[in-house]
């Protein structure tokens, strides 16, 4: 799906627990200024008023009448029906609020709502990591192409999304890709998010450095300490990012063995990818041990770090050879190297989410037009 030359305008919203940010996109680019306002998440009437007011302001700035509204909103939610559920950071929605139908009635255009992990993955599949990797393969003369993508975001939480053959896979209860609920390898009684987010990095740093959690630096500073650019407990900082990589790698390994596609990482912590990708890939390419003591790979495919120049060449070239068709003189090419690649966002997380929201709306509108 190529959105770059699409003339349709879609209004978007990046909804957080504290602030709402409204804008509009056309041709995969933002075409209005951003309208920001506080969410007022404890007062439903005030919160809904601000959502409507934000979209009204953006509509006035649109270069053409918008054809849809498509945006990110926290869950739990019944996203296909536009109903927001019991949010922790926006408590006024508890009990269920039909936000999508309300906006559709007020603005007279279709409304689509999804979570940020899903739209991040969709944006990277449409215009980011997936076409980037396929472009590298084309340039290298490889016939191999990828159609499936698993995306994760590492930030305040641990989000995920699945894209299969150009379509966002959201599941039967709008709960597909909920990677944060996988088991935490290093603390099996906890979920994976507790080893894959900002507070996890701070927690490990504090433990190794022998200080209280509330004395641990901000993760950006921990990253700088690990790189030797800021004074602090460097061994603790390095270990914090290594453990992050191990937990995220275990979770991604479990997902990728089912999805069999590329993996892309976004979120604030992805800026320190050099510090955790080696541990992450080592975990994905790790081993299980059978009852006889023999080891075997946890994935049927080999995972490559596509941020490592030394690994990219092997990934692109594969192990192509010619084989003879039995009882024939014909020869065909065969590449026995089953492989996937993991790397970081090519769009930036916020841009990928916005791109995902825009592309999702256009895709749904196209399906409606063609009666799918």
Residue 368 lies in a domain: no
Query: Please, what is the average pLDDT of the chain?
Result: 94
- Residues 266, 270, 271, 273: is their CA dihedral positive or negative? negative
Return all residues near 48 (Cβ < 8 A) that are at least 6 apart.
97, 99, 102
Residues 6 or more apart whose CB falls under 8 angstroms from that of 226 comprise 234, 237, 238, 240, 241, 272, 275
Instruction: Please check whether residue 208 is in contact with residue 240, taking contact to mean a CB–CB distance below 8 angstroms.
Output: yes
What pLDDT sits at residue 88? Answer: 77
Q: Which residues contact 335 (CB under 8 A, 6 or more apart)?
A: 144, 318, 319, 320, 321
Asked if pLDDT for residue 84 goes beyond 60, the answer is: yes
- Are both 152 and 16 inside the same structural domain? no
Q: Is residue 105 located within the same domain as residue 179?
A: no
User: By percentage, how much of the chain surpasses pLDDT 70?
Assistant: 99
Residues 294 and 152 in one domain: yes
Q: What is the pLDDT of residues 97-107, one digit of tens each?
A: 999 999 999 99
Count of structural domains, the chain: 2
pLDDT-based confidence at 372, cuts 50/70/90? low
- Predicted confidence (pLDDT) per residue in 284-308, tens digit: 999 999 999 999 999 999 999 999 9
In a domain, 3, yes or no: no
Helix (H) or strand (E) holding 236: helix 234-259
**292 and 198 in a common domain:** yes
Do 87 and 232 fall into the same domain?
A: no
Same domain, 295 and 165: yes
Query: pLDDT, tens digit, for every residue of 189-237?
Result: 999 999 999 999 999 999 999 999 999 999 999 999 999 999 999 999 9
Instruction: Give per-residue pLDDT as tens, 26-73.
Output: 999 999 999 999 988 889 999 999 999 999 999 999 999 999 999 998
- For residue 46, what is the domain's CATH number? 3.30.420.40
Question: Residue 127: which of 372, 345, 361, 366 has the closest Cα?
Answer: 345
Tokens of 217: 């630096």
Tell me the CA end-to-end span of the chain in Å, nearest whole number.
16
CB 232 within 8 A of CB 218: no
The domain boundary, picked from 114, 129, 146, lies at 114
Asked which of 89-93, 177-181, 271-275, 299-303 is least confident by mean pLDDT, the reply is 89-93
Shared domain for 107 and 173, answered yes or no, is no
**Once rounded to an integer, what is the mean pLDDT over residues 127-135?**
97
In 3D space, the residue among 77, 100, 74, 72 whose CA is nearest the CA of residue 174 turns out to be 77
| Dihedral in degrees, nearest 10, Cα atoms 259, 125, 362, 162 | 30
Model confidence at 75, pLDDT cuts 50, 70, 90, reads confident
Q: Which domain holds residue 268?
A: 120-354
- Note the pTM of the prediction, 2 decimals: 0.92
Backbone angles phi, psi at 313, to 5 degrees: -60, -45
Shared-domain flag, residues 71 and 135: no
């Amino acid at each position: 799906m190529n959105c770059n030359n699409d003339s349709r305008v879609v209004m978007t919203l990046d909804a957080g627990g504290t602030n709402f940010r409204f804008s509009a996109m056309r041709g995969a680019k933002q075409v209005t200024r951003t309208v920001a306002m506080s969410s007022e998440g404890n007062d439903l009437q005030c919160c809904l008023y601000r959502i409507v007011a934000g979209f009204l302001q953006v509509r006035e700035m649109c270069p053409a009448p918008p054809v849809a509204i498509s945006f990110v909103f926290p869950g739990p939610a019944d996203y296909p029906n536009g109903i927001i559920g019991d949010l922790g950071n926006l408590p006024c929605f508890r009990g269920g609020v039909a936000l999508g139908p309300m906006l559709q009635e007020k603005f007279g255009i279709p409304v689509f709502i999804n979570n940020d992990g899903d739209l991040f993955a969709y944006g990277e599949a449409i215009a980011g990591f997936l076409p980037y990797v396929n472009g590298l393969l084309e340039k290298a003369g490889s016939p191999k192409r990828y159609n499936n993508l698993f995306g994760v975001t590492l930030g305040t939480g641990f989000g995920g999304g699945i894209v299969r053959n150009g379509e966002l896979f959201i599941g039967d209860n709008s709960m597909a890709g909920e990677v944060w609920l996988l088991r935490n390898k290093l603390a099996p009684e906890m979920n994976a998010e507790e080893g894959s987010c900002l507070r996890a990095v701070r927690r490990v740093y504090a433990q190794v450095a022998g200080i209280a959690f509330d004395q641990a630096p901000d993760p950006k500073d921990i990253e700088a300490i690990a790189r030797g650019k800021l004074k602090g407990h460097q061994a603790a900082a390095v270990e914090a990012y290594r453990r992050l990589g191990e937990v995220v790698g275990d979770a991604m390994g479990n997902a990728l063995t089912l999805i069999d596609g590329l993996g892309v990482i976004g979120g604030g912590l992805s800026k320190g990818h050099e510090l955790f990708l080696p541990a992450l890939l080592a975990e994905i390419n790790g081993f299980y041990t059978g009852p006889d003591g023999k080891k075997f790979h946890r994935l049927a495919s080999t995972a490559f770090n596509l941020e490592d120049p030394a690994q990219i060449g092997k990934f692109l070239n594969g192990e192509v050879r010619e084989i003879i068709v039995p009882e024939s003189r014909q020869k065909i090419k065969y590449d026995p190297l089953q492989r996937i690649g993991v790397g970081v966002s090519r769009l930036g997380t916020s841009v990928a989410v916005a791109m995902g929201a825009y592309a999702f709306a256009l895709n749904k509108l196209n399906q409606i037009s063609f009666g799918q």
